Amino acid sequence: MVNATWIGTPNYEPGRRGQRVDHITLHIMAGFLAGTDATFQDPNRKTSATYGIGANGQIHQYVRETDTPWSDGDWLANATGISIEHEGGLPQARCTRACMDASAELCADIARRHGWKKLWHDGLNGNIYLHREIPGTDHTTCPDLAPNGLDWQYVVNKANELLSGKPAANNTANTIKKEIDMGTTHIIFNCGQKVYIANIIAGTFQHMKTMNEVKTRKYVLEKSGQKVKAWKEVVGKKANDYGQVKPDDLLAFGIEVK
């Protein structure tokens, strides 16, 4: 079973009034995991979800799967569903590849426990719901139409690869685990004519305008206990330069350079 940190919430209904779980509802937070934690723990907000996933792939659980979350804006959808919130949905809040990989693992885990051989979306006829499609909701962009929205098709495809037992191409979860094991969270690379330093755990990056800025940023990171490696070192080809990287190469790390 996928590990989740229990956070809890007062905003739920015990049990499911005899209803059977038959779907997962996917949501976007329009914010960050810490803010979602605070919102769901506020009894005045009267809202919750079963799970929430942060940019680094950390999973928080607010409601037991045997209880009903207040998430979809529709009682029956709540009573028959397990809801998952994802960090992102704002210009300043990205839905990272690490978040989506963790979601795929969680969705596959839920499917196994409920005997679902495959996950599929077909409006409200499949076992994957999108929040914006549920009657009565006013969340018309959730989870995929908001800025930095959820790529739900990626999540579903990857979850089905996990369910089938076939190895997923560009398995970012394994890539990130490898980087954690190496003690590396930042990579310096050249993309086009520019130099970047990326935090591959969060999927964020900074453009370095001068070599002095690169050296200063590297010094600050290493001073704080971080390790910083060149792209060619990370992919197993040691070199003095940082390595010329194409934007497509970065997608496996959840990094999007625009």
Model pLDDT for residues 200-216, shown as the tens digit of each residue? 665 667 888 888 888 88
Going by C-beta distance under 8 Å and a sequence separation of 6 or more, which residues neighbour residue 217?
A: 197, 206, 208
Mean pLDDT of the chain: 85
Question: Which pLDDT tens digit goes with each residue over 206-255?
Answer: 888 888 888 888 887 777 677 788 877 776 666 667 777 777 666 656 66
SS3 162: helix
Q: Which of left, alpha, beta for 177 (phi over 0: left; psi -120 to 50: alpha)? A: alpha
Q: What does the alpha-carbon distance between residue 245 and residue 250 come to, in Å, rounded to a whole number?
A: 7
Parse the chain into domains and list their residue ranges.
5-164, 174-253
Dihedral angle computed from the Cα positions of residues 93, 23, 12 and 147, in that order, rounded to the nearest 10 degrees: 20
Q: Which of 115, 114, 145, 113 is nearest to 130 (CA)?
A: 145
Q: Which is higher by pLDDT, 186 or 81?
A: 81
Among the listed residues 103, 93, 85, 98, the one whose alpha carbon sits nearest the alpha carbon of residue 28: 85
5-164 has CATH 3.40.80.10 classification: yes
Tokens at residue 149, please?
Answer: 């929205």
Spell out the residues 6+ positions from residue 121 whose beta carbon is closer than 8 angstroms to its own.
128, 129, 130, 152, 153, 156
> Could you give the CA distance from residue 131 to residue 128 in angstroms, rounded to a whole number?
10
Other beta carbons less than 10 A from residue 195's beta carbon: 18
DSSP secondary structure, 165-229, as one string: TPPPTT-HHHHHHHHHHHTEEEEEEEETTEEEEEETTTTEEEEE-SHHHHHHHHHHHHHTT-EEE
32-68 pLDDT, tens per residue? 999 999 999 999 999 999 999 999 999 999 999 999 9
Count CB-CB contacts under 10 A for residue 117: 9
Span 15-40, pLDDT tens digits: 999 999 999 999 999 999 999 999 99
List pLDDT tens digits, range 105-125. Answer: 999 999 999 999 999 998 889
Does pLDDT of 103 surpass 80? yes
Residue 58 in 3-state DSSP? coil
